[in-house]
């Protein structure tokens, strides 16, 4: 069997993102969802997926929310088993709404989200320093997800390395520039999909390492620049840069651009990187 046939066969067995989200059901105090194994990182949901289900629960609970402008996530424990989501409005003003979402699993509180939704308004000025870096088109870039023992959820994404280092390549800098898209994603402006994709890379620190190591995202903060980000091709250019790697932690920034060069999201992340078992 060729590698292409093997890839097509494994992709066919994956649970589509829309199918998974359709499994979210209303419960007494919010919503519940059980995540399929192929969307997990080990035994838990990866951070971007926990964030995405929190956002989905908030939008279902409070229809008519304005655009998401900012969000903060604390990943407190493993998100395992039957997950429960409890969204509530913290404050609603004339143009902004703050919503919190607690995500609980079999081991208790797994994540806590604070989401800021805001209506669009006129700006006093205009400025943008996040120019998209030069990058070859996806078709001209090598495959990204090629290393062994990848987490299950990464099989849902197609990646093309456009710059920086591949994971565990001992690159001189802890940086990655990768074209990413959902394998099953239609073109369009599904923000929940984008949030899940925004955390689909391994930590940028991995580019400068020679071997993998256990990791756990501690906190994640994102800012959105577009009320409804769109990619007609499904591709997004994602840049991850580690700013520090020390004392068992790495602080990094992530920026995402649409194919037409518009910055749509920036993020800051604190990641625990554990010593490898000897």
Average confidence score pLDDT of the chain: 92
pLDDT at 135 > cutoff 80: yes
Whether 234 has a pLDDT exceeding 70, the answer reads: yes
Write down the domain spans for the chain: 3-120+135-273
Residue in this structure with the two tokens 């997800």, named with its chain if needed = 145
Strand 30-34 to strand 96-105: parallel, antiparallel, or no bridges (unpaired)?
unpaired
Q: What pLDDT does residue 13 have?
A: 86
- Residue 143: count other Cβ atoms within 10 Å of its Cβ: 11
**pLDDT at residue 37 greater than cutoff 50:** yes
Q: Which of the four pLDDT bands, split at 50, 70 and 90, describes residue 1?
A: very low
Tokens of 189: 């402006």
Superfamily of domain covering 3-120+135-273:
Acyl-CoA thioesterase, double hotdog domain (2.40.160.210)
Lowest-confidence range among 12-16, 34-38, 186-190? Answer: 186-190
CA distance 179 to 125: 31
How confident is residue 4, by pLDDT bands cut at 50, 70 and 90? very low
């Amino acid at each position: 069997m060729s590698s292409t046939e093997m890839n097509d066969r494994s992709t066919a067995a994956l649970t589509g993102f829309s199918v998974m989200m359709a499994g979210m059901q209303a419960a007494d105090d919010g919503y519940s969802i059980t995540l399929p194994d192929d969307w997990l990182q080990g035994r838990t949901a990866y951070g971007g997926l926990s964030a995405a289900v929190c956002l989905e629960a908030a939008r279902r609970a409070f229809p008519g929310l304005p655009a998401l402008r900012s969000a903060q996530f604390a990943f407190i424990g493993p998100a395992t088993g039957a997950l429960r989501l409890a969204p509530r409005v913290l404050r609603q003003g004339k143009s902004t709404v703050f919503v919190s979402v607690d995500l609980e699993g079999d081991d208790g509180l797994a994540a806590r989200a604070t989401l800021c939704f805001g209506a669009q308004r006129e700006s006093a000025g205009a400025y943008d320093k996040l120019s998209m870096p030069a990058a070859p088109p996806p078709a001209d870039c090598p495959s990204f997800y090629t290393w062994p023992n990848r987490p299950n959820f990464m099989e849902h994404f197609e990646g093309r390395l456009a710059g920086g280092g591949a994971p565990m390549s001992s690159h001189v800098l802890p940086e990655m520039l990768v074209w990413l898209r959902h394998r099953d994603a239609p073109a369009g402006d599904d923000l929940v999909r984008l949030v899940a994709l925004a955390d689909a890379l391994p930590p940028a620190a991995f580019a400068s390492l020679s071997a993998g190591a256990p990791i756990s995202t501690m906190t994640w903060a994102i800012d959105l620049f577009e009320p409804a980000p769109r990619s007609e091709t499904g591709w997004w250019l994602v840049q991850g840069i580690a700013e520090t790697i020390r004392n068992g932690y790495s602080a990094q920034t992530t920026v995402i651009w649409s194919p037409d060069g518009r910055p749509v999201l920036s993020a800051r992340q604190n990641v625990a990187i554990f010593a490898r078992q000897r």
